């Protein structure tokens, strides 16, 4: 058996204290094999975003540990977390999170600049990624000049730029109509295969779940068996 790409062990996250405390994550444990696409499913308020943020190092658990590609995320300081997000884990957000004044190509190139990739190599990689997400002809357009689905495809290309091991997507199709959402999800599915990346994607949509290798269900901070 190959080593898991992601290990979540006994993770707790509580917001607030006393009678008002919300146990957003209550003893969450699971492993994910490399190269798989996992759908994280649960009702609003079930803890999906909290879990994804803890895994991606955007938030810290109160107890338990998260290991990504051999790195103990929970033990990292700020510098370590920055490096993790530069090198191993990348995010796709529901609201795309593109930089409005930059073109599609420049947005995709941001992680490569942070990684100090050489200009020619950066251009090559950006071109390849825009091709991969079907936007080669839109490289010069700014986010405001692109449709929602196109913006999300740019965000996916950007998330892949620095060749992460783990792609985290929090309801990446939440702002898109059903058909466009499905196209974006199918694109993610293809990318997991072609780039050998591991993806953890939260969604409400049963159609999206069908595209995943595995579905993890969360309810009130607990995983369902
Ligand atoms: N920063 C915070 N402070 C206090 N409570 C929080 C905070 N973040 C999340 N919560 C609470 O934790 C629980 C889980 O929230 P979370 O955002 O993880 O749910 P979700 O499954 O992502 O929901 P949605 O599908 O609506 O995005 C909720 O009860 C929420 O109110
Ligand atoms: Mg959420």
Q: Is 53 in the pocket of ligand 1 (CB under 6 A)?
A: no
| Cα–Cα–Cα angle for 88, 91, 92, rounded to 5 degrees | 145
Query: Ligand 2 centre and the CA of 141: distance in Å?
Result: 29
pTM of the predicted structure, to 2 decimals: 0.93
Cα 6 from Cα 67, distance rounded (Å):
6
Torsional class of 27: left (φ above 0), alpha (ψ -120 to 50), beta (otherwise): left
Q: Is 47 in the pocket of ligand 1 (CB under 6 A)?
A: yes
Q: Is 44 in the pocket of ligand 1 (CB under 6 A)?
A: yes
pLDDT of residue 1: 64
Ligand closest to Cα of 23 equals 1
Which residue has the least CA distance to atom 31 on ligand 1?
45
State pLDDT tens for residues 107-157: 999 999 998 999 999 999 999 999 999 999 999 999 999 999 999 999 999
The 3-class SS string of 104-162 reads HHHHHHHHHHHCCCCHHHHHHHHHHHHHHCCCHHHCCCCHHHCCHHHHHHHHHHHHHCC
Q: Is 17 in the pocket of ligand 1 (CB under 6 A)?
A: no
């Amino acid at each position: 058996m190959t080593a898991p790409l992601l290990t979540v062990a006994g993770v707790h996250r509580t917001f607030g204290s006393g009678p008002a405390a919300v146990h957003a994550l209550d003893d969450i444990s699971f492993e994910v094999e490399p190269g798989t696409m996992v759908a994280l499913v649960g009702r609003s308020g079930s803890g999906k975003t909290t879990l994804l943020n803890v895994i991606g190092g955007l938030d810290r658990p109160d107890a338990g540990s998260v290991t990504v590609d051999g790195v103990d995320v929970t033990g990292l300081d700020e510098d370590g977390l920055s490096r993790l997000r530069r090198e191993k884990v990348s995010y796709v957000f529901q609201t795309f999170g593109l930089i409005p004044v930059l073109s599609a190509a420049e947005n995709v190139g941001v992680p490569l600049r942070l990684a100090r990739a050489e200009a020619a190599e950066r251009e090559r990689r950006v071109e390849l990624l825009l091709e991969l997400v079907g936007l080669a002809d839109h490289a010069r357009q700014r986010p405001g000049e692109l449709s929602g689905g196109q913006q999300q495809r740019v965000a996916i290309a950007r998330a892949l730029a620095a060749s992460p091991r783990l792609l985290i997507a929090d309801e990446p199709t939440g702002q898109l109509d059903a058909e466009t959402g499905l196209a974006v999800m199918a694109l993610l599915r293809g990318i997991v295969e072609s780039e050998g990346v591991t993806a953890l994607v939260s969604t409400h949509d049963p159609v999206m779940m069908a595209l995943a290798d595995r579905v993890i269900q969360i309810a009130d901070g607990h995983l369902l068996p």
